[in-house]
Amino acid sequence: MATAETSPALRADAARNRERIVAAAMEVFAERGLEASTAEIAARAGVGEATLFRRFPTKEDLVTAIVQMQLEGAAEVAASCLEEDDPWRGVERFLIEMVGRASEDHGISDANKERCMASPALAGERRRVLDLTGQLVKRAQGAGVLRDDVAGQDLMFLMGAVASVGEIPFQGLREDLWRRYLGVVLDGLRPEGASKLRPGAPSRKLIENPDPV
């Protein structure tokens, strides 16, 4: 029998609170960086600070939850891109959508996020994204529209590299400057005129199960 603590209504309310807290943290970190206070996040989410700490005892727990949501979002985008009739369009769309998202995420793009990205708790999410990007790559290679020395995990590194253009500390740069460099990357992914890549792609196992930082 459901108790007051385990009733469906209470569980649903707890899930909504968690979603509100994570969404608020993403907004606040993007605006103010990781120095933003938990009190500000709680206020933005419309919950008490005690509720926030029950769900996320440390700020790193909160960042991990944000990264988990982002990895889940990446998996959804990749799965959608696999439905594209044109295999090249699937790869292209994945990179465009994911770099666009990453370029807006300036609030937690630092060492804290990197530690959370490598968290053992997110191994399942990393594996899911790697499976899907691997499928995107193999499908495009099978169609002869993607160079044959690229691996699914390369897409993740290329995405991060292009998104980092937004962190260049010069005033007046266009917010969508990343599109220029993604265009260069996309051209480089084509098989025509491709030169041998050195070194090889990073090990998938290294990404799935990284050593703790």
pLDDT digits (tens, 9 = 90+) for 138-171: 999 999 999 999 999 999 999 988 988 877 777 7
Question: Which amino acid would we find at residue 5?
Answer: E
- Would you state the pLDDT for residue 4? 44
pLDDT in tens, 63-104: 888 888 889 999 999 999 999 999 999 999 999 999 998 877
Query: Which residues are CB-neighbours of 213 under 8 A, at least 6 positions away?
Result: 114, 115, 118
CATH architecture for segment(s) 64-208: Orthogonal Bundle (1.10)
Fold of the 1-57 domain: Arc Repressor Mutant, subunit A (1.10.10)
Q: Which two tokens stand for residue 170?
A: 């010069």
Tokens, residue 153: 């995990």
Domain boundaries, the chain: 1-57, 64-208
